[in-house]
Structure 1
């Protein structure tokens, strides 16, 4: 693959990832919910589905139970189920599994960011013998706690700031005192909690959504319009789609270039192998230059060919036409280049292919590759050689 493609493709990938990240921004925290529960968005977050801390304000962590209920941990021992969330008025309605908050009061210690919505009072709980309608005439001072009743006793909550000396409590035994709880905690299966910060109610009132300010380090929040943000996201996604299509086209083109380059290299390698096979058939052999003499001197066949070419004599081979004679001469010159004594003088395989495919008239004679400096007899009788079969493979490759 070209170096330009190796640089462009990773750069485009990084650019697309940057645009996607820019488009997501805070929108990587979509509105979620557990089953049919209330929608969950900032300042709340589902910590089991939104591990990113910036999706919610500190202390507003919720999670989905195995039954797909939305759970809020009020204390280490009290897990409340969220019935509804009013983001504009900033209160949340919760219940407990047994619908009896009084059972959980000993472990119910609210801490920021949540507080009870209604007014708070101190109460004393008494266990009394069951007596029908005994305390119905004291509705503001005595509250029945049905979920704590048993077959042998009724539980009543008395406000600590109210005088109870005139109440018939002789048949009652004090259980314990509870501080700072709303009056409806004794009789209602649900509680309403509120929070003061972050103040996202004004965003909801404008039809906007609250979130952290971009790059904020001090938990500051801001309002944003989800409709405008969706339009911006659509534009970004359109841009990403176009860039993705371009990138895919570029990758396909790059793969084609790699495939084409590999194919050409294989073809060149095959042609080189064919040439080497042909050259092996003409590898240097000892030839008798004077068949009329018994004790003949010996000379390498390539050296004999070199001398013929140097003296511009005929190669003394039988060929069918002048074209074949020209090919034979070209092969001889290229072969002599390939057997140069010094490796640096030998052409590369790529250059060899170019020499074979080029015009023979432009080929230059190589330096004399033979150590022998004695004059060589060229006017000896040499048996004629038919090169038709030897050239057939080369001709096919041209």
Structure 2
């Protein structure tokens, strides 16, 4: 009762300590996850993999995460499980330890699947925690949470270029130890979740339900449009995260280390775009941010296949900045369309983004094998045009800070 009363008095207060903690764990989680695509050039050489086989590794990882995430989120909505946060990191620990010693394609696939399972537990539950701690600044909280993941994804290739390139595949075992640090932090977050966060979330959901809801058909239509936008965003991002290093090496003849640094710069731009997208949505309306962040990348994606090495860097930076600003606004917009289903919606959108990234990587791997790596970026250049669908999004009442 005391915890509930305290939560009622502070429900509108943003708990930055919890958001920073969950964002830092997101950094550690996604840094560990991003080591897999970062070492693709090594694995391709050592195991003699084709682009199709590399795409299948990404598919296994992404699909394992995407299929489980909505189920984890739905279960958490009905049966909150604070200990799932630290427990989920153990899958990532096991996955990286296996990948550090995987010298066959089968073990590589199993390691990728374990990494996916780690993400499937972490993302929906940690997104719920960000919502609990937001205190009304939901876009800001989602941006802070997600930028941790994007920063981790950017650090992964840099860590691979510095550590894995010098000490080899076995050095992944060192990064697996980061899962233990994450586990310790998430244990403390889980205690806050149990004693304060659940009460805050209940008050927030009760307030949303008191407002007139959108008609079910319009809400589901909005969710479908948002998922289409996630498709365009994450298939395009898969073309860069999985194959950009190969593209740079093939077209411009740069070294693996230089290609990894270009990927690091792109992922850094994604992190900056993510931190900007949520607060801009809080201030100017999420629909406007979604519209611009998807469709606004189109001129730059159309130019990229024809750019020199000098202009390739600035173009990918602009693409990363603009595309990345969409996701925090999309997640919060979807949560407002379906109040009371925070875990399910978070799991659905994180899971769908992982799934689309995996399917996109697999299909684009086939395109690269059949028609060359240049064709991947010629085809993907038109994907942001799907952003035109944003004009059909409904207009739920924006809740001001």
Fold similarity call, TM over 0.5 = no
| TM-score (structure 2 length as normaliser) | 0.16
Larger RCO, structures 1/2 (Cα 8 Å, 6+ apart): 2
Higher helix share: 2
| TM-score (structure 1 length as normaliser) | 0.16
Higher strand share: 1
